[in-house]
């Protein structure tokens, strides 16, 4: 009988591609059940079988819930009908993926990017003592107890998961960088900078999700303080529930130093990331203790100093302080953010130190981390 492994992840990028490719010699057949795959420099091995399910749509809360639910049902159906004998590698995307082992007896491991129901309770949508949260908590304890291995991306996440599972089962494997393409690009050679006519600007960049877990509007608050500074320009790239609100605020405040752009092509990504003189990473207070956005590591790979908006006790703040790659602020510390931007812009020695620290830190978050998943399951 063939030894098979099925990877389950609604939205897959280079991280998932690297993980799947790392299992090449461990299994006779590798399968991915996925909504969409966004490949960059590294492609998914051609021998991997792909099953497509409903793609994730985060345009509204309702669309997010609908696409999560449809994908979960499709994933479960495929596993029960076609892969009852396979090992499962489950990713908490959609969040309901953790429920799959309730309906099948496959051996499985879980990669936890976001901890549910903690994130829902922390957001205020439901209380910890509510029935859905208590039920989900019970499911987690049942499922995690049966897991061969539970992977997560930070020590803070591990601490949260310990409420559901024995510590010996939990392994922390940091995220890594798409290092083959994302690297520093001089502004003179940056096609995105030229296209946007930003050659003479000091660019403060936010690129990513414009959803409710990200305090993106702080970028507009800062831009408003710099309205009379022609050299400093603010770029917001992405999509999500807050996009229309952000667009309206930029227009109403008549901010000529701030621009909102849609997602750029995958080919343009190395250029957009490298356009940042300062890169903004934001998480709302309820989300910041539970995750570190993966884009953080791409910013490190281009040597971008970080301006982070998150709780001082967050994993993001810990990373920034450990590697001395920028500064982390609370949401209400806009005055301090303004001072930080001015300091980075006007002090070349300080800027180069942050840049060098970021590039040095990026060497710790490399593709070889993907191999640790297959090694842990040997």
As averages over each run of 10 residues, the pLDDT of the chain (378 residues) reads: 92 91 94 89 90 89 90 97 96 92 96 83 72 88 94 87 91 81 89 96 94 86 95 95 93 95 90 97 70 85 95 88 96 96 98 97 87 92
Q: Which domains does the chain have, with CATH numbers?
A: 4-173 (3.40.50.2000), 187-362 (3.40.50.2000)
Structure-token match 């590294």, residue found:
42
Spatial contact of 234 and 222, defined as CB atoms under 8 Å apart? yes
So what's the pLDDT on residue 54?
A: 95
What's the confidence (pLDDT) of residue 6?
Answer: 98
Residue identified by tokens 């297959």 is 374
**Which among 138, 98, 132, 134 has a CA at the least distance from the CA of 114?**
98
The first and second tokens of residue 318, run together, are: 């810990």
| pLDDT tens per residue across span 110-155 | 999 888 887 777 666 677 778 888 898 899 999 999 999 999 988 8
Give per-residue pLDDT as tens, 11-65: 988 899 999 999 999 999 999 999 998 876 678 999 999 999 999 987 777 888 8
Query: What is the 8-class DSSP label of residue 233?
Result: E
How far apart (Å, rounded) are the C-alpha atoms in residues 323 and 109?
31
Which residues are CB-contacts of 282 (< 8 A; sequence separation ≥ 6)?
206, 214, 215, 216, 218, 219, 308, 309, 310
Whether pTM > 0.95 for this model: the answer is no
Largest Cα span, the chain: 70
């Amino acid at each position: 009988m063939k030894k098979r492994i099925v990877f389950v992840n609604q939205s897959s990028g280079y991280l998932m591609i690297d993980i799947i490719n790392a299992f090449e010699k461990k299994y006779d057949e590798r399968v991915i059940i996925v909504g969409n795959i966004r490949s960059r420099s590294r492609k998914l091995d051609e021998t991997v079988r792909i099953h497509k399910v409903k793609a994730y749509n985060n345009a509204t809360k309702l669309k997010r819930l609908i696409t999560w639910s449809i994908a979960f049902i499709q994933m479960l159906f495929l596993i029960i009908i076609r892969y009852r004998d396979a090992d499962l590698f489950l990713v908490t995307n959609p969040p309901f993926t953790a429920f799959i082992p309730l309906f099948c007896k496959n051996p499985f491991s879980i990669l936890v990017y976001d901890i549910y129901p903690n994130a829902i309770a922390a957001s205020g949508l439901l209380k910890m003592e509510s029935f859905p949260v208590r039920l989900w908590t019970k499911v987690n304890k049942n499922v995690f107890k049966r897991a061969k291995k539970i992977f997560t991306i930070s020590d803070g996440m591990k601490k949260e998961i310990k409420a559901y599972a024995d510590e010996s089962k939990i392994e922390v494997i940091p995220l890594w960088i798409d290092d083959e393409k994302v690297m520093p690009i001089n502004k003179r050679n940056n096609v995105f900078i030229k296209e946007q006519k930003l050659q003479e600007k000091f660019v403060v960049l936010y690129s990513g999700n414009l959803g409710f877990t990200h305090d993106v509007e702080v970028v507009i608050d800062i831009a408003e303080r710099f309205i009379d500074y022609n050299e400093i320009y603010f770029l917001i790239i992405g999509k999500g529930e807050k996009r229309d609100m952000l667009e309206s605020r930029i227009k109403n405040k008549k901010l000529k130093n701030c621009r909102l752009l849609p997602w750029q092509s995958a080919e343009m990504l190395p250029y957009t990331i490298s356009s940042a003189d300062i890169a903004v990473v934001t998480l709302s207070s309820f989300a910041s203790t539970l995750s570190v956005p993966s884009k953080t590591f791409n910013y490190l790979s281009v040597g971008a100093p970080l301006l982070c908006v998150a709780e001082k006790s967050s994993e993001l703040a810990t990373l920034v302080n450990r590697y001395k790659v920028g500064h982390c602020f609370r949401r209400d510390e806009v005055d301090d953010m303004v001072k930080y931007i001015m300091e980075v812009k006007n002090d070349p020695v300080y800027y180069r130190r942050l840049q060098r620290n970021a590039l040095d830190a990026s060497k710790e978050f490399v593709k070889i981390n993907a191999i640790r998943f297959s090694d842990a399951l040997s």
